[in-house]
Chains A and B, each alone.
Chain A
């Protein structure tokens, strides 16, 4: 397998200042030497490449040309170290949020009762909820 020496997969491509800022978001982190910064950049680069590759494989398997969030999610689930710390940070699947929203609005809106006549011997349910005209309101 010929390695492409022109594009070193390990070489960090991220702005080091930004990587350092992200590292220091954790208040427990005191000092970080230049080697640590370099290796974090490199390993992050490798990790991103790995995620991209795996997500693309999922997309291809699903016969899709566009890599989407669901493909990424599947790729993360399949990789044990990544799934340990990443699954919680992935956004909630869009489908479940949409259906959840739908069911909420359905509950909020009173459903119009159909105009079909009730079967013989039964009463329509809205009959129970109609205010009897003769009865006085309960005080």
Chain B
């Protein structure tokens, strides 16, 4: 009769199974990164079982989904479409990760300053800073 009937035990060997594998890899952060960060934290002679490393991969992916979901819900409530850095900070604090929220807020502040400087530098060496008039008068002296 049908040839497929007997092959129910094995996974389909066509494109179906390969697309499932790709999805699995995309769902997780690279195990090399995970392992490296763990090694930095653990004492030098410590080892990590493969199972523990793989479970760590799952845990961090869950963390990402968890925090992002909370931040996204906030956006929806406020009728915004784009999740921004403040939403993530809020989500972290709400979910009980206040220890992260504070240093990350400072980090975000520095990042914004840094990005702002980069933008200013890229705009050329001319008079860039419209707000700070003191600089203009400095330039006048030379």
Contacts and interface: CB of A to CB of B under 8 A. Distances in A.
Given A33-B82, A36-B87, 9 more contacts: A22-B29, A25-B65, A38-B111, A53-B41, A55-B52, A56-B43, A81-B95, A82-B59, A86-B62
Contact of A89 (B62, B103, B104): B62
Interface in B9-23: none
9 contacts: A14-B33, A30-B72, A31-B81, A33-B85, A43-B104, A47-B60, A66-B47, A86-B59, A91-B55
A22 B42 contact: no
A80 B96 contact: yes
Looking at chain B's contact residues, the main secondary structure is: helix
Q: Choose among B45, B64, B67, B76 the residue with the greatest number of A CB atoms under 10 Å from its CB.
A: B64
Nearest to B41: A52
A19 B45 CA distance: 30
A53 B40 CA distance: 10
Interface string A67-87: 111011000100011101110
Contacts of B29: 14-15, 18-19, 22, 44
B46 interface: yes
A65 B44 CA distance: 10
Contact of A43 (B26, B43, B97): B97
B89 A39 contact: yes
Contact of A33 (B36, B45, B83): B83
A67 B100 CA distance: 24
B132 interface: no
A23 B65 contact: yes
A13 B36 contact: yes
Contacts of A90: 55, 58-59
Interface string A116-134: 0000000000000000000
B30 interface: yes
A40 B63 CA distance: 9
A85 B88 CA distance: 17
Contacts of B83: 29-33, 36
A128 to B, nearest CB: 39
Given A14-B29, A21-B26, A30 B64 contact: no
